[in-house]
């Protein structure tokens, strides 16, 4: 029996932006509802800071213990993270007693493409 290891390639999730740029076509009603929910969730300064902390965290994910210093109580942080998850901006995974958050891969690409005025 051999102790050799086989390294498997890391597969990156496929990033599929939701919508065409605002200057190229009208948004469908469904896309407008979806994007409005995301922008509404990001319209709160605490949520925007939390989203930024997760997005910029080393490794692309952050433990709630590493991002909760945004000037509000822990239950309020949990409420804001829940709103970001419900809007489809973050995903979460419980590991032991901590919850780790990651930006949904297609979210930043979708927001960027929607707002790209150069297309």
Question: Tokens for 82?
Answer: 């829940």
Instruction: Give the pLDDT confidence of 58-113 residue by residue, as tens digits.
Output: 988 999 888 989 999 989 999 999 999 999 899 999 999 999 999 977 887 888 88
Number of helices followed by number of strands (H, E) in the chain = 5, 3
Pick from 96, 102, 97: nearest CA to 81 = 102
- pLDDT score at 5: 58
**pTM (2 d.p.):** 0.76
- Orientation of helix 45-56 relative to helix 29-42, angle to 10°: 90
Q: Give the C-alpha separation, 116 to 27, whole Å.
A: 14
């Amino acid at each position: 029996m051999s102790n050799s290891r086989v390294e498997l390639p890391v597969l990156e999730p496929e990033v599929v932006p939701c919508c065409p740029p605002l200057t190229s076509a009208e948004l469908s009603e469904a896309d407008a509802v979806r994007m409005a929910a995301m922008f509404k969730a990001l319209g709160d300064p605490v949520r925007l800071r939390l989203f930024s902390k997760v997005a910029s965290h080393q490794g692309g994910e952050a433990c709630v213990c590493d991002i909760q210093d945004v000037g509000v109580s822990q239950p309020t942080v949990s409420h804001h993270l829940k709103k970001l998850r419900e809007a489809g901006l973050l995903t979460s995974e419980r590991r032991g007693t901590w919850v780790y958050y990651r930006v949904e891969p297609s979210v930043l690409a979708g927001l960027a493409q929607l707002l790209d005025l150069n297309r």
